[in-house]
């Protein structure tokens, strides 16, 4: 567990890139790209005929067009594939209008539903996506088409940033917060403040009272899970239920969510943060094929 008092950035989660083994872009029919520029993270995905080929997942800089370029560059690194060979790209996310090489921008809601459907399969009907600065609850059909959605991007409570604030406060690395929050014998009462700023003051008070880090984390994760559930209940949770975005990697939240909902979310080995970009790449392919049919 990484705990350091020398100004370590506890919120700095691991950036990554990936190339699928056994695929060659030279054999592909349609090469499509998807870039999800979020307020906290950016992902670039390339698909070959709708199959995942390569991707990157990195922190969004303060400059959107640059984030899009850098993330795509990194995704393509080592593949020999160049941007000009990608036939269509769709941009999504908060910075979607700032993907200079995208042919179209599509709302992240639609992209997350499509991406969730790709990652978890056609049985998914409810996708919960918690990004860096937002929380989305999406209902979709077996093809990943949206039938209802609700998005909250106004308030930090229940978002990745809220979790980052706590990781920083407690000096616990963001990768470890989930596990640590489960190391309590008995689940403490949740923090009473719904606002992250006030919850942070409350947590400082609890620490001064002698609460160990894991107990404070458990109290915060509990409050965060309650909040997410109350948002989800606005549109209801229909099985199968799946989680995308960074928070799916936080076992402390995932476990508490499934306990409160009484529903186990579907599991995956794939990087849940890429769902939006995957959906975008699938849309890019669909739009390209539609264009080709017209000609």
Q: Which residues bind another protein (CB under 8 A)?
A: 39, 62-63, 106-107, 109-110, 133, 145-157, 161-162, 165, 193-198, 205, 208, 227, 230-231, 234-235, 283, 286-287, 290
Give the shortest CB-107-to-another protein separation in angstroms. 5
- By CB neighbour count within 10 A (0-12 exposed, 13-18 middle, 19+ buried), where does 19 fall? middle
Residue among 54 and 220 whose Cβ is closer to another protein = 220
Give the shortest CB-82-to-another protein separation in angstroms. 27
Concatenated DSSP letters of 201-248? HHHHHHHHTT--HHHHHHHHHHHHHHHHHHHHTTT---SSEEEESGGG
Give the shortest CB-200-to-another protein separation in angstroms. 9
101, 130, 118: which is closest to 38 by C-alpha? 130
Residue among 52 and 196 whose Cβ is closer to another protein = 196
Note whether 119 and 242 are within 8 A (CB).
yes
Q: What are 275's two structure tokens? A: 């769902």
Residue among 49 and 233 whose Cβ is closer to another protein = 233
Give the shortest CB-258-to-another protein separation in angstroms. 21
- By CB neighbour count within 10 A (0-12 exposed, 13-18 middle, 19+ buried), where does 84 fall? exposed
Distance CA 104, CA 88 (A): 9
Residue among 218 and 280 whose Cβ is closer to another protein = 280
Give the shortest CB-43-to-another protein separation in angstroms. 19
Residue among 83 and 195 whose Cβ is closer to another protein = 195
Give the shortest CB-230-to-another protein separation in angstroms. 8
The count of C-alpha atoms lying within 13 angstroms of the C-alpha of 156, restricted to the half-sphere facing its C-beta, is 16
Note whether 191 and 163 are within 8 A (CB).
no
Cis before 240? omega within 30: yes
Q: How many CB atoms lie within 10 A of CB 78?
A: 10
Distance CA 116, CA 193 (A): 31
Residue among 54 and 273 whose Cβ is closer to another protein = 273
Distance CA 47, CA 201 (A): 45
Give the shortest CB-132-to-another protein separation in angstroms. 9
Residue among 20 and 151 whose Cβ is closer to another protein = 151
């Amino acid at each position: 567990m990484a705990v350091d008092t020398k100004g370590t950035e506890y919120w700095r989660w691991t950036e990554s890139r990936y190339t699928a083994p056994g695929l060659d872009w030279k054999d592909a029919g349609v090469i499509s790209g998807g870039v999800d520029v979020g307020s906290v993270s950016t992902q670039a995905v390339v698909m070959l005929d709708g199959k995942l080929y390569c991707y990157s997942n990195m922190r969004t800089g303060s400059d959107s067009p640059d984030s899009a370029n850098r993330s795509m560059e990194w995704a393509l690194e080592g593949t020999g594939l160049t941007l000009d060979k990608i036939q269509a790209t769709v941009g999504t996310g908060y910075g979607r209008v700032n993907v200079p090489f995208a042919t179209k921008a599509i709302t992240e809601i639609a992209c997350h539903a499509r991406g969730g459907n790709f990652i978890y399969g056609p049985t998914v009907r409810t996708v919960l996506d918690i990004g860096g600065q937002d929380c989305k609850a999406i209902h979709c059909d077996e093809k990943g088409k949206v039938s209802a959605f609700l998005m909250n991007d106004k308030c930090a409570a229940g978002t990745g940033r809220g979790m980052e604030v706590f990781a920083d406060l407690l000096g616990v690395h963001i990768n470890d917060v989930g596990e640590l929050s489960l190391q309590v014998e008995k689940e403490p009462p949740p923090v009473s403040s719904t606002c992250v700023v006030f919850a942070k003051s409350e947590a400082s008070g609890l620490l001064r009272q002698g609460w160990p880090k894991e107990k404070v984390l458990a109290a915060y994760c509990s409050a965060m899970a309650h909040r997410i559930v109350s948002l989800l209940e606005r549109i209801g949770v229909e099985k199968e239920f799946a989680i995308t975005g960074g928070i799916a990697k936080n076992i402390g939240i995932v476990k508490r969510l499934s306990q409160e909902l009484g529903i186990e979310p579907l599991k995956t080995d794939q990087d849940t943060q890429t769902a939006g970009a995957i959906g975008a790449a699938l849309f890019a392919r669909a739009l390209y094929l539609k264009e080709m049919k017209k000609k």
